[in-house]
């Protein structure tokens, strides 16, 4: 079974809610995984603990990752798309990829915009690579076209900007990725779209799901 949940922000206690997951299951985290931050002994110990889980822990990146650490891991092929295998069963799902997991096609696109970036120190609390690039968007378009713009699920960190009123959040800066997501809504066929940035659990009919604490099975 495949499950989706929201940002974990380096909080190992969040995984207490994952007890129902079994060997062979996959848990997808919608950005801000947060276990790559300071490369401390404590952080490495927590990652080793996560690597012993019976299920796969797969995450897209968000706005609170240390990209200097994350990018140390080599890129490889995983279930049809590019990924970084971190440690055993921990997998970084990269931007613009389409993976086939348990027969389901899943499009992923991490990254986003920290609205408080002006108050963070670059290279220690904030990284420019959090914002998706034009080339990553172009690669995503190519990969979607290879799948005839048809997937089962879409997993992102940022929400589509057209949902902002439903979510009661302000979008202070328009990014290229916001326009791209609106194009996906128009051009692609998909069953459900999950995103984590808003830190709420909310269904926006018909196809959109903000996720945070909930652990939702993809049926």
Per-domain residue ranges of the chain: 2-217
Q: What is the pLDDT of residue 150?
A: 98
More confident residue, 1 or 173: 1
| Best CA proximity match to 196, nearest among 85, 84, 104, 110 | 110
Residues with Cβ within 8 Å of residue 122, at least 6 apart in sequence: 128
Contacts of 84-88 with C-beta under 8 Å, sequence gap 24+, read 86/47, 86/51, 87/47, 87/48, 87/50, 87/51, 88/51, 88/52
Distance, CA of 2 to CA of 56 (rounded, Å): 9
pTM for this entry: 0.94
pLDDT tens digit sequence for 112-163: 876 656 557 666 666 688 899 999 999 999 999 999 999 999 999 999 988 8
Q: What is the pLDDT of residue 123?
A: 60
Q: Are 6 and 37 in contact (CB under 8 A)?
A: no
Q: What is the pLDDT of residue 32?
A: 95
Distance, CA of 176 to CA of 96 (rounded, Å): 14
H helix intervals, the chain: 41-51, 67-70, 134-146, 164-167, 176-187
Q: Count of CB atoms within 10 A of residue 194's CB? A: 22
Q: Are 68 and 136 in contact (CB under 8 A)?
A: no
CATH number, span 2-217 = 3.60.21
Percentage of the chain surpassing pLDDT 70?
90
Q: What is the pLDDT of residue 72?
A: 95
CA 177 remoteness from chain centre: 14
pLDDT tens digit sequence for 14-53: 999 898 999 999 999 999 999 999 999 999 999 999 999 9
Q: Does residue 100 carry a pLDDT above 90? A: yes
More confident residue, 193 or 123: 193
């Amino acid at each position: 079974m495949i499950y989706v949940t929201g940002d974990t922000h380096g909080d190992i206690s969040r995984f207490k809610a994952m007890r129902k997951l079994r060997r062979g299951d996959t848990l997808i985290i919608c950005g801000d995984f947060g276990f790559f931050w300071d490369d401390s002994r404590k952080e490495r110990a927590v990652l080793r603990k996560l690597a012993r889980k019976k299920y796969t822990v797969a995450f897209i990146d968000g706005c609170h990752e240390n990209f200097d650490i994350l990018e140390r891991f080599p890129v490889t092929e995983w279930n049809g798309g590019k990924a970084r295998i971190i440690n055993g069963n921990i997998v970084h799902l990269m931007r613009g990829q389409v993976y086939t997991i348990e027969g389901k096609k899943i499009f992923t696109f991490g990254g986003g915009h920290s609205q408080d970036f002006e108050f963070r120190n670059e290279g220690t609390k904030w990284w420019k690579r959090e914002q998706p690039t034009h080339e990553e968007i172009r690669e995503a378009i190519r990969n979607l076209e290879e799948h005839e713009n048809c997937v089962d699920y879409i997993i992102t960190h940022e929400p589509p900007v057209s949902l902002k009123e439903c979510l009661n959040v302000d979008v202070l800066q328009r990014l290229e990725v916001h326009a791209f997501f609106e194009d996906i809504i128009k051009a692609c066929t998909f069953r459900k779209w999950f995103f984590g940035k808003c830190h709420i659990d909310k269904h926006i009919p018909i196809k959109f799901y903000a996720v945070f604490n909930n652990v939702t099975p993809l049926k």
